[in-house]
Chains A and B, each alone.
Chain A
């Protein structure tokens, strides 16, 4: 149980392109989803917290107009990297916490490796 699907797993695109990443909880409902960014050989840095039906909460230093987050349902959150540039190349990982598990663990997707040429 507690499977989180993230799609696509890898994206390579030209500078200036907008890229959408989907995060789905497959077998549970998630009120809250989290988006992380990980540079090579570094830790995960929280970008934003996404709550179903409300605006995402962004961490300090994360541009909300650059990284658009939509949490339209209890099983889907999307991250759109708008007008991506090479410095946006990174590994993006989402996680979800079950609706009935306020203090439960976050379950992570497999990540999306984004490469901007």
Chain B
């Protein structure tokens, strides 16, 4: 069974601080995808990144960066120079990619989420 653990329930930082959100996953699949989503107070889920299990290169997008380490089954997310607008709940998710009759299943398993509060 798949499992995603976000050990940090809540994080509080002051604006301009760097913050790292941890994500550890469990899966028996050799092919899988990892995601990060942002859920602001308004409730919608915003897609941030997708990473497949064969690509361990770190990625940077503006103030966001992701560190994928297969050896430790971790996919951590760092926000550099945090801003108040970054305040939200962040979810890490894992997708199995088994093919059933030629159709991808793609079920997402979410972590519990980390509530990030950035104070001015």
- What is the interface of chain A, defined by CB distance below 8 A to chain B? 31-32, 34, 41-46, 49, 51, 91, 93, 95, 97, 102-111, 113
Contact = CB atoms under 8 A, between A and B. Distances in A.
Given A34-B107, A103-B104, A111-B43, 12 more contacts: A41-B115, A43-B110, A44-B45, A44-B110, A46-B107, A97-B106, A103-B95, A103-B106, A105-B47, A107-B47, A111-B45, A113-B43
A53 B45 CA distance: 26
Interface string B44-65: 1111001010000000000000
B32 to A, nearest CB: 10
Given A97-B106, A110-B42, A113-B43, A105 B111 contact: no
Highest count of chain A CB atoms <10 Å: which of B33, B91, B104, B109: B104
Which 3 A-B pairs give the minimum distances between C-beta atoms? A108-B45, A102-B104, A110-B44
A111 B109 CA distance: 18
23 contacts: A32-B104, A32-B106, A34-B107, A34-B108, A41-B115, A42-B112, A43-B110, A46-B107, A46-B109, A49-B105, A49-B107, A91-B43, A93-B43, A102-B104, A103-B52, A104-B50, A106-B106, A108-B47, A109-B44, A110-B42, A111-B44, A111-B45, A113-B43
B35 A103 contact: no
A49 B108 CA distance: 10
